[in-house]
Amino acid sequence: MTADNFADRLLAAIEGKQSHVVVGLDPDFALLPSEIRDAHPRAQYAGDDEMHEACYREFLTALLDALTGEAMAVKPQIAYFEALGSRGYALYEDVVTMAKDMGYLVIGDVKRGDIGSTAEAYARAHLDVAGADAVTVNPYFGADGLEPFLRRTRESGKGVFVLVKTSNAGSADIQDLELSSGETVYRRVAGLVEYWGRESEGSRGYRSVGAVIGATYPAQGAELRARMAGVPFLVPGYGAQGAKATELSGLFDEDGTGTVVNSARAILYAYRKRPGIHWLDAARLEAQEMRSALWRAAGRGR
Amino acid sequence: MTADNFADRLLAAIEGKQSHVVVGLDPDFALLPSEIRDAHPRAQYAGDDEMHEACYREFLTALLDALTGEAMAVKPQIAYFEALGSRGYALYEDVVTMAKDMGYLVIGDVKRGDIGSTAEAYARAHLDVAGADAVTVNPYFGADGLEPFLRRTRESGKGVFVLVKTSNAGSADIQDLELSSGETVYRRVAGLVEYWGRESEGSRGYRSVGAVIGATYPAQGAELRARMAGVPFLVPGYGAQGAKATELSGLFDEDGTGTVVNSARAILYAYRKRPGIHWLDAARLEAQEMRSALWRAAGRGR
């Protein structure tokens, strides 16, 4: 294992914590525990955004601290931070730093993509300045729009997860279109992802250019796993979006690795389904159960 | 014309300023006039980012002020602002506000896109909080990933430009793939854009859901124009990326409207090719020439 290959760090994090769990950080004021909201009365702040930022900061700091034993990575979703404007953007950057300091791998869920010179600015913004270990990117612009991100997988030990088949129903609109070759758009994108990652391979056969595959499409995911040896998968859509661990066994490789699974709301707001215990204990229990269920699904234990 | 339909506001802005020119705001420290850089010596700032932000702010404020007679809209490219972190993000928001106050339409070039709940956060961040008149979005997620943006075209007078055929060479990788139906991916996306915009029509036959069509593909653009009556086009890639006005006549409708064209570097850094005059005069002259050339290409005058 070299410390500066993302794929190596990803596999090491799975082994180190015996966990495939990525916690999605999707802060939503309406869903926060009342304990958090009550501690920040509106009258103490100049505006709602300032209050929300203070609540998110306390909520996420406590969560990160509580889940170090269960989750090997976190995936802050930048959209929820941007919704608070520049104050939220600053919090996003702080959360990335904080999570790295606590030993998590940090996957910035930013879904950026643009033409070359602009993509370079985005790659700099998110992998160099904000400093996430990896980010999600959108493939619609093609290879030259991703090259600044890909370069950082080869040169700076960073990772990239390219959208292939997303977890939402509307993903059919474009991703499932059938090409004249007979394959679907998302399968073609999967092929491109394999190609784009070829120079980013670490010491254990995995590349640092991965694929985002929605947990809500486990059959397609298993098929892609079989065809995409060495491509790490980031699988969102677990929990609140409906996918279960037992359905995901086909997404792991024969060593039970290569795939990490994200859950956001089901963990963050677990207290809503587990009355009578502290919200942090609820989140920890939910993450623990997810960790065990995935570990079994990956063929790794009882 | 209703004030709260984006398409109506777009056409009115073209008529009002007799201009199809959108100025792309892509600040790049290495390309700034020495006058700007010299006014902000490094020693006065805690770090490079702080200095760059001060330079960008002065540069963009002066530019916006100088180009009100030539450009009907500006398109701040958020990637260049994010590259300065939260300080840059705050400047992006300030630039949007400043440009609106000066009478420009503001198209936030953010290229966002995600699943429904996250897309709602992005739409809120960029159309409500930052407050751009319109934004660019990425279609890869399909309809449900765009709905929060589309809703704002129907309910809040906002506009959306969906990536269809982008200006870069790599756009071929996915956008030009041939479907089993015989059409290309970008043509299918164009059809979806028409469909997604059907409830956002203003009083002059144009919808508030537009398409991004690279100026570097004028033949494809003309073909799309013929098939997409009522869909406004945002055309980047003019100037520095190589496209010329005479090649773009096929992108305007028979009234010489419906399309706006973006140039960033060729205007912002025009002083580099026009020695001996002030950088603001160089930018104004470049924008003036572009305005006249497009006005003629649209069949609107000498």
Q: Give the DSSP letter of residue A44.
A: G
pLDDT > 90 in chain A, percent: 95
- With the CA atoms of B119, B124, B127 and B130 taken in that order, what torsion angle do they form, in degrees rounded to the nearest 10? -120
Round to whole Å and give the CA distance between B256 and B274.
Answer: 30
Round to whole Å and give the CA distance between B38 and B41.
Answer: 6
Angle at B214 between CA B159 and CA B256, to 5 degrees: 65
Residue B10 in tokens: 């777009």
Residue with tokens 């701040």: B76
pLDDT in tens, B66-95: 999 999 999 999 999 999 999 999 999 999
pLDDT in tens, A194-204: 999 999 999 99
Angle at A285 between CA A281 and CA A289, to 5 degrees: 175
The answer to whether B116 and A79 are in contact (CB under 8 A) is: no
Task: Check whether B241 has a pLDDT greater than 90.
Answer: no
pLDDT in tens, A269-286: 999 999 999 999 999 999
Q: Which of A114, A162, A167 has the highest number of chain B CBs within 10 A, making it the mutation to test binding with B? A: A114
pLDDT > 70 in chain B, percent: 99
Residue B64 in contact with partner chain A when CB distance is under 8 A:
no
Conformation bin of residue B168: beta by default, left when phi > 0, alpha when psi is -120 to 50? beta
Rg of chain B over all Cα atoms, to the nearest angstrom? 19
Residue B275 in contact with partner chain A when CB distance is under 8 A:
no
pLDDT in tens, A145-172: 999 999 999 999 999 999 999 999 999 9
Whichever domain contains B131, its CATH number is 3.20.20.70
Model confidence band, residue B302 (pLDDT cutoffs 50, 70, 90)? low
Contact B79 A122 (CB under 8 A): yes
The answer to whether A137 and A111 are in contact (CB under 8 A) is: yes
Round to whole Å and give the CA distance between B118 and B113.
Answer: 8
Strands B105-112 and B134-137: parallel
Best CA proximity match to B162, nearest among B183, B141, B184, B132: B141
Rg of chain A over all Cα atoms, to the nearest angstrom? 19
Rounded to 10°, the helix A48-66/A85-101 angle is: 10
Residue A90 in contact with partner chain B when CB distance is under 8 A:
yes
Bridge partner list, B210: B161
Round to whole Å and give the CA distance between B62 and B279.
Answer: 10
Predicted pLDDT at B156: 96
Which of B86, B89, B177 has its CB closest to that of A179? B177
Closest CA of chain B from A235, distance in Å? 14
Predicted pLDDT at B244: 87
The answer to whether B218 and B233 are in contact (CB under 8 A) is: no
Predicted pLDDT at B74: 98
Residue B159 in contact with partner chain A when CB distance is under 8 A:
no
Residue B102 in contact with partner chain A when CB distance is under 8 A:
no
Round to whole Å and give the CA distance between A166 and A175.
Answer: 8
Task: For the full predicted model, state whether its pTM sits above 0.95.
Answer: yes
What residues of chain A lie within 8 A of the CB of B30, using their CB?
Answer: none
Q: Give the DSSP letter of residue B238.
A: B
CA closest to B25 among chain A residues: A118
Q: Domains in chain B: how many in total?
A: 1
Round to whole Å and give the CA distance between A216 and A233.
Answer: 14
Which of B49, B138, B172 has its CB closest to that of A113? B138
Which of A115, A168, A169 has its CB closest to that of B167? A115
pLDDT > 90 in chain B, percent: 95
Bridge partner list, B38: none
Task: Check whether A3 has a pLDDT greater than 70.
Answer: no
Say whether A158 is catalytic.
Answer: no
Best CA proximity match to B192, nearest among B174, B175, B178, B211: B211
Boundaries of domain holding A236: 6-297
Q: Rounded mean pLDDT of chain B?
A: 96
The answer to whether B260 and B21 are in contact (CB under 8 A) is: yes
pLDDT in tens, B258-273: 999 999 999 999 999 9
Q: Chain A neighbours among B 189-248 (CB < 8 Å)?
A: 189, 192
**Which strand (E) or helix (H) includes residue B137?**
strand B134-137
Which of B85, B126, B175 has its CB closest to that of A129? B85
B100, B111, B165, B244: the catalytic one is B111
pLDDT in tens, B30-56: 999 999 999 999 999 999 999 999 999
Which of A86, A121, A145 has its CB closest to that of B89? A86
Task: Check whether A266 has a pLDDT greater than 70.
Answer: yes
Predicted pLDDT at A302: 58
pLDDT in tens, B87-141: 999 999 999 999 999 999 999 999 999 999 999 999 999 999 999 999 999 999 9
Task: Check whether B2 has a pLDDT greater than 70.
Answer: no
* Residue A200: alpha-carbon gap to chain centroid: 19
Contact B118 A77 (CB under 8 A): yes
Q: Which of B50, B93, B115 has the highest number of chain A CBs within 10 A, making it the mutation to test binding with A? A: B115
Q: Rounded mean pLDDT of chain A?
A: 96
Residue A33 in contact with partner chain B when CB distance is under 8 A:
no
Q: Which of A80, A82, A195 has the highest number of chain B CBs within 10 A, making it the mutation to test binding with B? A: A82
Predicted pLDDT at A1: 36
Amino acid at B186: Y
Distant-in-sequence, close-in-space partners of B259: CB < 8 Å, separation ≥ 6 = B20, B225, B232, B233, B234, B235, B248, B251, B252, B253, B298
- Whether A101 is in a domain gets the answer yes
- Whether A302 is in a domain gets the answer no
Best CA proximity match to A180, nearest among B302, B92, B96, B179: B179
- Whether A1 is in a domain gets the answer no
Predicted pLDDT at A244: 87
Task: Check whether A49 has a pLDDT greater than 70.
Answer: yes
Residue A140 in contact with partner chain B when CB distance is under 8 A:
yes
Residue with tokens 């939402």: A168
Round to whole Å and give the CA distance between A40 and A152.
Answer: 40
Q: Which of B174, B178, B189 has the highest number of chain A CBs within 10 A, making it the mutation to test binding with A? A: B174
Residue A187 in contact with partner chain B when CB distance is under 8 A:
no
Question: What is the SS3 assignment for B76?
Answer: strand
Best CA proximity match to B225, nearest among B257, B250, B248, B206: B250
* Residue-wise DSSP of A98-120: HHHHTT-EEEEEEEE--SHHHHH
Model confidence band, residue A243 (pLDDT cutoffs 50, 70, 90)? confident
Strands B105-112 and B233-235: unpaired
Predicted pLDDT at B1: 37
Round to whole Å and give the CA distance between B301 and B292.
Answer: 8
**Which strand (E) or helix (H) includes residue B116?**
helix B116-123
The answer to whether B262 and B22 are in contact (CB under 8 A) is: yes
Model confidence band, residue A2 (pLDDT cutoffs 50, 70, 90)? very low
Strands B21-25 and A73-76: unpaired
Round to whole Å and give the CA distance between A210 and A153.
Answer: 10
Best CA proximity match to B110, nearest among B71, B155, B77: B77
A111, A158, A165, A244: the catalytic one is A111
Task: Check whether B3 has a pLDDT greater than 60.
Answer: no
Residue B188 in contact with partner chain A when CB distance is under 8 A:
yes
- Whether B301 is in a domain gets the answer no
Best CA proximity match to B149, nearest among A79, A35, A123: A79
